Amino acid sequence: MTDLVIPLADLRYAALVPTVPSELSPATGLLSDRLGRPLRDLRISVTDRCNFRCSYCMPKEVFDSQYKFLPQTSLLSFEEITRCARLFAAHGVAKLRLTGGEPLLRKHIEVLVAQLSTLRTPEGRALDITLTTNGSLLTRKAQALRDAGLQRVTVSLDALDDAIFKRMNDVDFPVADVLEGIQTALRAGLAPVKVNMVVKRGTNDDQIVPLARHIREHCGPGVVLRFIEYMDVGATNGWRMNEVLPSAQVRQRLHEAFPLLPLDPSAPGETAERWRYADGAGEVGFISSVTQAFCGECNRARLSTEGKLFLCLFASRGHDLRALLRGGHSDEQISSAIGLIWAGRDDRYSELRSNGTAAIPSGERRVEMHYIGG
């Protein structure tokens, strides 16, 4: 008799096998969760691997040579991802974001982009397809991604100073290569390029003004810098509140160097608060997930690398859609199961954290950012 071997990686997070309702209900595009929030945005993690080791996300001590990343067979194939995305689009998802890990490490990612770009909303519109990257492979990939139908990219960049940047990515990657990636993306027509800077007090907060200045002077209004509060995602980054620099203080520092004026939000559920430079040099954004929870309008779902659906960035359990995809279920069955999952959603972790009542069930741990993406 041979032993049944269950790969360790598959047991990584608690997952529920979704219920397939016996009475199927066709997608209406009007799905709403228990708090009345629609489903509009799907973030898809295409790999759990990364060539950086940012300490706030994949600290080297944990994600070392012994760490077991998911085997190739666990990953959703491009066809499985596209099938899922099509079912989500029928439920009202209008925006897809490819993420990871580092999404540009997934081989032939542009083929997935081309497949996703054939999808339509119930009204017949193409979906908005974007990708978040650390920028290390962007110079090589930007044009192919654009040609495949990608509309925009978000590049993570935490410092302009090379020594600080190398310390933060912890693999000695030079800032010049990321800056070149941003320029290549602009030339390829992936504009506006958003640049995300995670601000950690005492680590890179002296980079707020220099990075903003660089973007104003060398990139122009086609690049929008966004400051992100350092979050308590996952269980490995040793998060401490005193390392969070509240967005209000980041904004104040920037305003002293370059006066700012507020802008209206461009879309409901938008995570970033938008401001513009008073001198017309473009806009900046502030994402205040810690000090100003925005759960009330959260319309995002996340699909992990191995096909688990997470309803919140801080969830400890996913819903195993891959089990349905590979279990011979029909589109109608999977679509009904997704509808049921979203209808039961009441997640609002950041709000609960703000009022001191956030908790996860004992024996479970929060999902890591590199596994479900940002």
Residues in touch with ligand SAM (CB under 6 A): 50, 56-57, 99-100, 102, 132-134, 156, 196, 198, 228, 230-231, 233, 237, 369-370, 373-374
In whole angstroms, the minimum distance from the beta carbon of 77 to ligand SF4 comes to 21
Query: What residues have CB less than 8 Å from 240, skipping those under 6 apart?
Result: none
- Contacting residues toward ligand SF4, per CB under 6 A: 50, 52-54, 57-58, 100-102, 134, 156, 294-295, 298, 300, 312-314, 347-350, 370
Contact 310, 316 (CB under 8 A): no
Amino acid in the structure at residue 237:
N
Nearer to ligand SAM by Cβ, of 82 and 288: the residue is 288
Nearer to ligand SAM by Cβ, of 84 and 244: the residue is 244
In whole angstroms, the minimum distance from the beta carbon of 288 to ligand SAM comes to 11
In whole angstroms, the minimum distance from the beta carbon of 250 to ligand SAM comes to 13
Nearer to ligand SF4 by Cβ, of 35 and 261: the residue is 35
Indicate the DSSP class of residue 317. Answer: E
Record the tokens describing residue 359, joined without a space: 């908790």
Residue nearest to ligand SAM according to CB distances in the complex: 374
Provide the β-strand partners of residue 196. Answer: 156, 226
Phi-psi region of 254 (alpha: psi -120 to 50; beta: other; left: phi over 0): alpha
Of the CA atoms within 13 Å of residue 143, those in its CB half-sphere come to 4
Nearer to ligand SF4 by Cβ, of 165 and 277: the residue is 165
In whole angstroms, the minimum distance from the beta carbon of 330 to ligand SF4 comes to 30
In whole angstroms, the minimum distance from the beta carbon of 31 to ligand SAM comes to 25
Residue 233 interacting entry, from ligand SAM, ligand SF4, none, C-beta within 5 to 8 Å by type: ligand SAM
To 5 degrees, how large is the angle CA 202–CA 204–CA 210? 130
DSSP string, 130-148: EEEE-STTHHHHHHHHHHH
